[in-house]
Amino acid sequence: MRSDAVKSGVQQAPHRSLFNALGLTKEELQKPLIGIVSSYNEIVPGHMNLDKIVDAVKLGVAMAGGTPIVFPAIAVCDGIAMGHLGMKYSLVTRDLIADSTEAMAMAHAFDGLVMVPNCDKNVPGLLMAAARVNIPTVFVSGGPMLAGRINGQKTSLSSMFEAVGAHSAGKMTEEEVEEFASKACPTCGSCSGMYTANSMNCLTEVLGMGLKGNGTIPAVYSERIRLAKHAGMKIMELLEKDIKPRDIMTEKAFYNALTVDMALGCSTNSMLHLPAIAHEAGVDLNLDIANEISAKTPNLCHLAPAGHSYIEELNEAGGVYAVMNELNKKNLLHTDLITATGKTVEENIAGCVNLDPNIIRPIENPYSQTGGIAVLKGNLASEAAVVKRSAVAPEMMKHEGPARVFDCEEDAINAIKGGKIVQGDVVVIRYEGPKGGPGMREMLNPTSAIMGMGLGSTVALITDGRFSGASRGAAIGHVAPEAAVGGNIALVEEGDIIQIDIDANTLNFVISEEELEARRAKWIPREPRVTSGYLARYAALVTSSSKGAILEVPRY
């Protein structure tokens, strides 16, 4: 066993003395040591129940003959961090989580790991760590929140943010906003729509790193506790069979993830996280492949914010495996891949039928013949830009309008709420990318303000920052190269005509080559917004969003 390095033989007697100090018995030390990575905390609603999930995992590990040992991972609540300095610290935690988990797993020579994440950067951070450490690992998330109910209608966090925009437009009273605040998020769990957390927990199933139901069983269901116990038992099987993350997360597994991503209509943040996870697994996942996969993958689900159904309903309809089964009817998946269930994808999804064609459209009757996410390119985004196509109004799939340019999120919000943005405008928010932010803030506040004020079918928003999975509308993010490194988004001026064609996957602004070069000659790089602490180090090391905003290791 790998853990023999810290527990067996005379040389390891000092180590055993420390295990004795932990209260571990001789019998426990004779068993494999299984690290349980607990993301429990009391600030993230999606994590407040993880202590119960961890306890269930511990029972499962012990029942199957292992010794469970818990250690922590951090997590940021994107909703609480939204719209202020805190959002700069969201994406950057992905690497802190991966690094700290690697450090704990390697320093203590665990034989296997059970990852217990739930929210936005916590899930990809732990998937990155799993690929990097590459010892037998299985995931069990904390599960999604149930949808809220207001006036007999289901609702969620995205409606809450849009209510603020409606209030600014005089369409909702303060009392009505407070009613939303008290009812939109009724339980623990990751927010109830197909936002980033639920997107990544669903894609963890698709990648093969989580068991059936990992992405969809609601946090408050007892079934979630049973799933956690099974995950604890399953790690012992993976250890026995020596099935490791890099055996599971292969190039074909990432193609499967992109395919199901398109069918589900996942958060655009998946276009940051999947390449970053793939990088740790030794797979080069170029975003160019995304449009190729999207072109042949029908969009089968319109979950909030794209529609009015929620993760709990996806679960009732058969969950992720049912979606995969629909896709497999047209042979769109690689089904011979091994997974953390100990079985192949084909074995996993066999018999997992679609129980509700209103929630999961049959593949013969999709919402669209192409996938839910599009990668755009053009003279405004020579590397890439990303949009959640399934959440864009039909009339905004092709749009042309004047640029309204802002160099930070706050200025844009003030203009939107101040009534300075009108029908037809294209709001440009720049210097909010991975380096320029730093930290690539989510722009849920501006997109929600646009939707809440009734401008969602006439106004587009473009940024080198990113969007929450709760954003909807013609919200185009991840523009790369970003403004901070001299990308053309830095050269856009007020009133320039911007041309968006999502069906054609293009994003351009109208400018001659001569004028573009003249503006480039006058452009002066901005002084860094942050010059000390972790954010400064992150800004120095982070790469383009088109590469997943991974950190580039300096070569000495």
List active site positions: 468
**DSSP tag of 36:** E
194: closest CA among 476, 478, 471?
471
Helix (H, G, I), strand (E, B) or coil at 160: helix
Residues 230 and 252: their CA atoms lie apart, in Å, by 26
The span from the first CA to the last CA of the chain, in angstroms, equals: 34
**DSSP tag of 407:** S
Which residues are bridge partners to 34 per DSSP?
68, 112
**Percent of residues in the chain assigned helix, strand, coil, to nearest 5:** 40, 15, 45
- Determine if residue 83 is left, alpha or beta; phi over 0 gives left, psi from -120 to 50 gives alpha, anything else beta: left
**DSSP tag of 33:** E
Half-sphere exposure of residue 296: CA atoms within 13 angstroms, side-chain side: 14
- Cβ atoms 460, 472 nearer than 8 A: no
Give backbone dihedrals phi and psi of 132, rounded to 5 degrees, phi first: -70, -45
DSSP labels, 304-333: TTSSSB-HHHHHHTTHHHHHHHHHHTTT-S
Chain Cα centroid distance, residue 385: 16
Residue 2: which residues within 8 A CB-CB, separation 6 or more?
A: 109, 110, 111, 135
Rounded to 10 degrees, what is the CA torsion of 346, 375, 411, 438? 70
Q: Going edge to edge, which strands form the sheet with 112-116?
A: 67-72, 33-38, 112-116, 137-139
Helix (H) or strand (E) holding 498: strand 497-501
**DSSP tag of 108:** T
Residues 309 and 312: their CA atoms lie apart, in Å, by 8
Q: Is the peptide bond before 434 cis (omega within 30 degrees of 0)?
A: no
- Cβ atoms 508, 499 nearer than 8 A: yes
